[in-house]
Chains A and B, each alone.
Chain A
Amino acid sequence: MNRTWIIVGATSSMARAFARKVAEDGCHVLLAGRDLADMKRTKKDCELRGAPSAYAVMFDARKPGTFDEICVKAAVQDGEINVAVFVGSMPEQSAIDTDPTLIDGTIQDSFTGPAQLLHRLAPLMEERGCGTVIGVGSVAGDRGRLSNYVYGSAKAGFHTYLAGLRNRLGRSGVHVVTVKPGFVDTAMTWGIEGMFLVAAPESVADDLLKAVKKKRNTIYTPWFWRYIMLIICHVPEFIFKKLKI
């Protein structure tokens, strides 16, 4: 059967690594993101790696008008439609403290924008009765903390949305995977102090494909973050509120 992956936030290195793997696996690829020139290169890369077709379309989480083209392109693809959402933005918490209006954009990029797009694609996927949604959240969404709680709360909202979407789409044979990456070696983390056990985007992409195959609901990547977050989430609030992590 024809398989298509819609990859949202396609200029990130995690998305690029994922796009390559599904392309080599023979899937059609629809790349959506803001830097069209960059995505055109990735589109060609996907075609040359084995994607029977690849497209690059504009997507801006803050401009719902840009979602139309993705929905139109998705509807004309035969067979199984899959979506992987890699978008999100993480301004420095100090920048947000100076300018609280940045909160809106962070939430649009990391939560409401992708949620709206998924909501518009959901009926099509239900109709096809197959396929997978991968939503990339973050371990930052598991507990609010000093250094990035605006980004964290946006991702927490996205996690809850994905759980609900899983509940809905599961009834028609569509699976939803929630992904919580720890530190991944991307442009977002390059040069930030305090990074440890950083995972390569390629190994994250492998984890995603494994989770799709095994129909996992929520995965941490790399896997040990499940245990790190288990500990962090179990620190009593009266202690946690005094910590600086």
Chain B
Amino acid sequence: MRQLLLIPLLIGPVLLAGCAIEPWVKPYERANLAAPVMNFNRDPISSSYLHHVYDSREGARGAGIATGGGCGCN
């Protein structure tokens, strides 16, 4: 329990320091980042389906984009 109390003490200064960080990419410099081609998950309905295809046929899982249930064991 004592270790848990230490977590905010350790993380707190980092977060407070973060509040003081001056963003090195200004909001007006983010036009490229907002372009449609920069969107990994531009069409969620489509990428979710493809990840379901892989999750159903490969042993690995997780840390992807898709969610959902079902057996998928066809």
Is A bound to B?
A: no
